[in-house]
Amino acid sequence: MRRARHPIVVIGSGVAGMAAALAAAPAPVRLLCRAPDGSGSASALAQGGIAAALGEGDGAAAHAHDTLEAGARHNDAAAVRWLCEAAPATVSWLAAQGVAFDRAADGRLQLGREGGHGARRIVHAGGDATGAALVRALRARVEAASHVQWRGGVDAEALLLRDGRVAGVRVRDTRGRCEEIEAAAVVLATGGIGALYAHTSNPPGADGAGLALALAAGAAPRDLEFVQFHPTALAVNGHGLPLLTEALRGAGARLLDAAGAPLMHGLHPLGDLAPRDVVARRVWQARQQGGAWLDATPVAGDWQVRFPTVLAACLAHGLDPRREPLPITPVAHFHMGGVATDLDGRSSLPGLHAVGEAACNGVHGANRLASNSLLEAVAGGRRLGAVLAATARLPAGGTGRWIERGAALPPENLPALRELLWHAAGPVREGAALHDAWRMCAAAAGAGWQMRLAKALLCAMRLRTRSLGGHCREDRGCPA
């Protein structure tokens, strides 16, 4: 008797998960996510674009060089070469999926420049709304794809292990009902960990739930200590804060201190466009001395076309970026670490895969280059989907056992954990504070999976005793 073909289960509805689901055709895919309507991914909020060496005189080798420099050469060089070589084809594929990239009057792609890039190589769609444009286009493709069955409003809480392989996932819906799904393979495309911090550019769902599930099941992590802090989010009340894209500084916006003096003066040759970690630390310090501001009033051109997302977010908070300086704070933005994978997204646990920000394949090193994240999510998703279509196996028989992530921290305890991580594991770190925070999380590890994940993050941060990339150990000296 022929056994039914189990689906590939993809958890996460950002661009990495959707690209993997589409590329897995014709294998059946179940695409699951927490938000009932599939919204809520970090991809949809991404204001940066996609880096690709498409300009005259530019090339994959130059893009790779800049990626390695940003990553403090902690990157896996082969992974970087793959990503940069895949970038132009990734942009073409996205255009074929219906993404309307911004073009000049002659029809050629407009190429922007961002911090850390030695050439104009960033493509955007809808100005600062590239992430949302990608999500819209891929979502339409997913909904039209007969091999993908999409379901929102479910949380993946356990993995089925059978004969040493991940063979299924158990999900719980918003009304507490469980479903056990046998899977030919499970893909974690659950995003990063920014929502574990008091201040973040990430949506609430980017809380490391997928990473915590993988760790509970015994998958190996990699580079957990490397978190990128973005220097310019709007300093207003709230947890997830609106980002003020780096492209604003590329277009003439200036960083100011409380006295209205240039914030980066004399600190770095690149001034306001110094590497993200350097600017983030300066803004962090300035906030302790009275505050920091981004003056975007010199930005020329039509804000509705160039920066519609920033404009709308500022106006919603009663601030007009065209007329007044904006209060800013650094925010947790991107996790370079994650579930350790190879370039095909395989984790150390057979049957379990990870892609996008949830994964760490070494491509970003100790600090991600601007506009390499959507690129990696799409290129990695497509690569993983194609591999799974060719290799996903019929599951082995037998009973297996369920490995649970465990109960969540009571919601009223989350703000304290977020403050703890913000102060001990933020843009500026120091040995004693890391140790104290780690001890607190270790003592409270039974209180919820977020505590155990925080403990694992803090452990990695303690073990890396020297500053590197986004990891700044003030007690050992941080660059500029």
Beta carbon of residue 372, minimum distance to ligand SIN (angstroms, whole number): 7
Number of residues interacting with ligand SIN: please give it, by CB under 6 A.
Answer: 8
CB-based burial label for 318 (10 Å; 0-12, 13-18, 19+): exposed
Q: What single letter denotes the amino acid at residue 127?
A: G
Residue 351, C-beta contacts closer than 8 angstroms, at least 6 positions apart: 165, 166, 167, 183, 185, 186
Q: Which among 155, 156, 161, 154 is positioned nearest to 219, based on CA atoms? A: 161
Decide whether 10 or 135 has the Cβ nearer to ligand SIN.
Answer: 135
d(CA 175, CA 273): 47
Decide whether 341 or 371 has the Cβ nearer to ligand SIN.
Answer: 371
Decide whether 251 or 442 has the Cβ nearer to ligand SIN.
Answer: 251
d(CA 203, CA 258): 29
Residue span binding ligand SIN (CB under 6 A) among the ranges 189-197, 296-304, 368-376, 453-461: 368-376
Cα–Cα–Cα angle for 14, 18, 24, rounded to 5 degrees = 150
- Write out the binding residues for ligand SIN, residues 380-439 only, by CB under 6 A: none
Beta carbon of residue 138, minimum distance to ligand SIN (angstroms, whole number): 18
Question: Given candidates 13, 41, 43, 47, which one binds ligand SIN under the rule CB under 6 A?
Answer: 47
Decide whether 123 or 417 has the Cβ nearer to ligand SIN.
Answer: 123
Binding mask 236-255 for ligand SIN (x = CB under 6 A): ---------xxx--------
Beta carbon of residue 377, minimum distance to ligand SIN (angstroms, whole number): 11
Q: Which among 474, 445, 472 is positioned nearest to 225, based on CA atoms? A: 472
Residue of closest CB approach to ligand SIN: 48
CB-based burial label for 342 (10 Å; 0-12, 13-18, 19+): middle
Question: Given candidates 156, 326, 370, 461, which one binds ligand SIN under the rule CB under 6 A?
Answer: 370
Q: Which residue(s) pair with 339 in the sheet?
A: 221, 359
Q: Does 123 bind ligand SIN (CB under 6 A)?
A: no
Write down the residue that tokens 């975007």 correspond to. 296
d(CA 48, CA 204): 20
Question: Given candidates 14, 28, 48, 71, which one binds ligand SIN under the rule CB under 6 A?
Answer: 48
Decide whether 210 or 330 has the Cβ nearer to ligand SIN.
Answer: 330
Decide whether 165 or 364 has the Cβ nearer to ligand SIN.
Answer: 364
Q: Does 90 bind ligand SIN (CB under 6 A)?
A: no
Beta carbon of residue 45, minimum distance to ligand SIN (angstroms, whole number): 10
Pairing of strands 292-295, 254-257: antiparallel
Q: Does 200 bind ligand SIN (CB under 6 A)?
A: no
Point out the residues that are catalytic: 276
Beta carbon of residue 463, minimum distance to ligand SIN (angstroms, whole number): 26
Residue span binding ligand SIN (CB under 6 A) among the ranges 97-105, 208-216, 365-373, 399-407: 365-373
Strands (E) located in 33-152: 50-51, 122-123, 148-151
End-to-end C-alpha distance for the chain, whole angstroms: 67
Decide whether 70 or 421 has the Cβ nearer to ligand SIN.
Answer: 70
Decide whether 48 or 240 has the Cβ nearer to ligand SIN.
Answer: 48
**What's the sign of the alpha-carbon dihedral 279, 202, 374, 108?**
negative
Taking the CA atoms of residue 99, residue 103, residue 106 and residue 108 in that order, the dihedral angle to the nearest 10 degrees is -70
Decide whether 127 or 351 has the Cβ nearer to ligand SIN.
Answer: 127
Residue 78, C-beta contacts closer than 8 angstroms, at least 6 positions apart: 343
d(CA 339, CA 337): 7
Beta carbon of residue 92, minimum distance to ligand SIN (angstroms, whole number): 20
Question: Given candidates 329, 373, 450, 467, which one binds ligand SIN under the rule CB under 6 A?
Answer: 373
Q: Which residue(s) pair with 332 in the sheet?
A: 200, 229
Provide the 3-class DSSP secondary structure of residue 297. Answer: coil
Q: Does 309 bind ligand SIN (CB under 6 A)?
A: no
Q: Does 371 bind ligand SIN (CB under 6 A)?
A: yes
Beta carbon of residue 248, minimum distance to ligand SIN (angstroms, whole number): 8
| CA-to-CA dists, residue 168 to 6, 30, 91, 346, angstroms | 9, 12, 33, 16
**3-state secondary structure labels for all residues of 213-270:** HHHHHCCCEECCCCEEEEEEEECCCCCECCECCCHHHHCCCEEEECCCCECCCCCCCC
Beta carbon of residue 196, minimum distance to ligand SIN (angstroms, whole number): 18
Beta carbon of residue 141, minimum distance to ligand SIN (angstroms, whole number): 23
- What residues line the site for ligand SIN (CB under 6 A)? 47-48, 245-247, 370-371, 373
